[in-house]
Structure 1
Amino acid sequence: MNDVDVVLPCLDEARALPGVLAAMPLGFRPIVVDNGSSDGSAEVAEEHGAVVVREPRRGYGAAVQAGLTAATAEFVCFLDCDGSLDAGELPTMVALLRAGQADLVVGRRVPVTAAAWPWHARTGNALIAGLLRRRGIPVHDIAPVRAARRLDLLRLGVEDRAFGYPLELLCKAAEADWRVHELDVSYRPRAAGTKSKVSGSVLGTVRAVRDMAGVLW
């Protein structure tokens, strides 16, 4: 019986999806949330056995929340579907939840090559993570990979529907006295033909930092 759902926010990731879905661990059900793709991503996801949810409202947080709402499993993981992250690392994250060692497990990206994580994205991320640590939240990355219990996440009531979603999640988890555990995860160059909506450009990074700063303020 499946007790883990994996929410995959998606915007024009048709080229990466076959590989990402093929790497999904046994018992981990992929839920691809199509956020208005124009490249047939939703159809590719369906062809490769994923549950597809369509979320017309643009925004990372909107896609993530739509996937969380559609999930039914006890545990829910979140993973970008551009091929930069390894789904094979999700069982280790969920194991910490099962063992009662954490309430929220988040990834700390370790780039396998310098090209995997451009300087502007690393800089913006380090700035926000540093501010969080000053608030007592023990993270070094605002990474797009995390795992928690579904009902706990729903009760947390994260409201941001843009790039500030993962930051608000961490802040509210801290307010609720959740035990947050950070694990190193490998971070690879994205699949050919895909481009990050955040780190793919300086403008994307600035927008993400702006959204996250808004949450902190």
Structure 2
Amino acid sequence: MSVDVVLPCLDEVGALPWMLGRLPTGFRALVVDNGSSDGSAEMARGLGATVVHEPVRGFGAACHAGLTAATADVVCFCDCDATLDPRQLPRVVAPLLAGEADLVLGRRRPVGWRAWPPPARLANLELARRVRRRTGLRLADLGPMRAARRSGLLALDVRDRRSGYPLETVLRAAEAGWRVRETDVDYRPRTGRSKITGTVRGSLEAARDMTTLLNSLGAAGRERVR
């Protein structure tokens, strides 16, 4: 069975060889170039990836462009900064293929103290707590490595095109009664600087996006993570 892997990309030329070189057999890379100026698109294409161009800036815009371009029944999302190991994608896909879940999230386990700075980790824990209170989903993380079926994701009609896209996906999945499950994945120090939490402006914008989504979307169903 083939799986499409959406890799949102903005100036990740330093991470692409490692990322694309570790994709398992049967997993096709869809690198969504979101306006890179460092030659990321050319490198990805040279390494055999399918490149999708999304001129509208925003993490959600890149994710949605990749989802739209995907053709496989199962679609994964993964950050393109080498924090997550593509070789672990099969363990995220497995509960989906076994019929045990509708959405699988990779719960990040830091590899080394530099992998996940305490402020970012605490912010993620608080966000997971708020999602749990709103939806009943017992999540420990809103990890960026995830898997679901393409048709289902499109039906969720996620609207956010900024940093709130992963959160809105989880909230809408809960509203739809999806079975959401977590599985552990390694989390490594990133290559290059984060476009979101690596700057004060990016952090503030991400916090604003998440708060807006939590306040605007209604309470969801009570399906639990196992």
TM superposition score category, shorter chain reference:
over 0.9
Q: Tell whether the 8 Å contact from 1:120 to 1:199 is kept in structure 2 after alignment.
A: no
Query: Could you say which residue in structure 2 is the equivalent of 1:214?
Result: 212
Query: Could you say which residue in structure 2 is the equivalent of 1:175?
Result: 175
Q: Tell whether the 8 Å contact from 1:74 to 1:150 is kept in structure 2 after alignment.
A: yes
- RMSD (Å), alpha carbons: 1.0
Q: Tell whether the 8 Å contact from 1:117 to 1:199 is kept in structure 2 after alignment.
A: no
Q: Tell whether the 8 Å contact from 1:12 to 1:40 is kept in structure 2 after alignment.
A: yes
SS in 2 for 1:152: helix
SS in 1 for 2:183: strand
1:94 deviates by 1.2
Q: Tell whether the 8 Å contact from 2:52 to 2:69 is kept in structure 1 after alignment.
A: yes
Q: Tell whether the 8 Å contact from 1:120 to 1:205 is kept in structure 2 after alignment.
A: no
Deviations 1:62-116 (A, max 9, x none): 0000000000001000000111101111111111111100000001111111211
1:125 deviates by 1.1
CA distance in structure 2 between the partners assigned to 1:157 and 1:95 by the alignment: 24
Higher mean C-alpha displacement, 112-121 vs 46-55: 112-121
Deviations 1:30-81 (A, max 9, x none): 0000000000000000000000000010000000000000000010000001
CA distance in structure 2 between the partners assigned to 1:214 and 1:119 by the alignment: 24
**Paired positions, count:** 214
1:152 deviates by 0.5
Higher mean C-alpha displacement, 46-55 vs 207-216: 207-216
1:142 aligns with 2:142: yes
1:154 aligns with 2:154: yes
SS in 2 for 1:182: strand
Higher mean C-alpha displacement, 129-138 vs 32-41: 129-138
The ranges of structure 1 where at least 4 consecutive aligned residues each deviate by more than 6 angstroms after the TM superposition are: none
Deviations 1:116-155 (A, max 9, x none): 1112211221111110111202211121110000101001
Q: Tell whether the 8 Å contact from 2:91 to 2:183 is kept in structure 1 after alignment.
A: no
The answer for unaligned runs of 5 or more in structure 1 is: none
Deviations 1:176-203 (A, max 9, x none): 0000001111100112xx1111232344
Q: Which amino acid aligns with 1:63?
A: A
Q: Tell whether the 8 Å contact from 1:6 to 1:29 is kept in structure 2 after alignment.
A: yes
Q: Which amino acid aligns with 1:169?
A: T
1:66 aligns with 2:65: yes
CA distance in structure 2 between the partners assigned to 1:138 and 1:156 by the alignment: 20
- What does 1:88-127 correspond to in 2, within 5 Å? 88-127=87-126
Q: Which amino acid aligns with 1:45?
A: A
The answer for unaligned runs of 5 or more in structure 2 is: 216-226
Query: Could you say which residue in structure 1 is the equivalent of 2:220?
Result: none
CA distance in structure 2 between the partners assigned to 1:118 and 1:200 by the alignment: 10
CA distance in structure 2 between the partners assigned to 1:138 and 1:34 by the alignment: 33
Task: Give the TM-score, by structure 2 length.
Answer: 0.92
Task: Give the TM-score, by structure 1 length.
Answer: 0.96
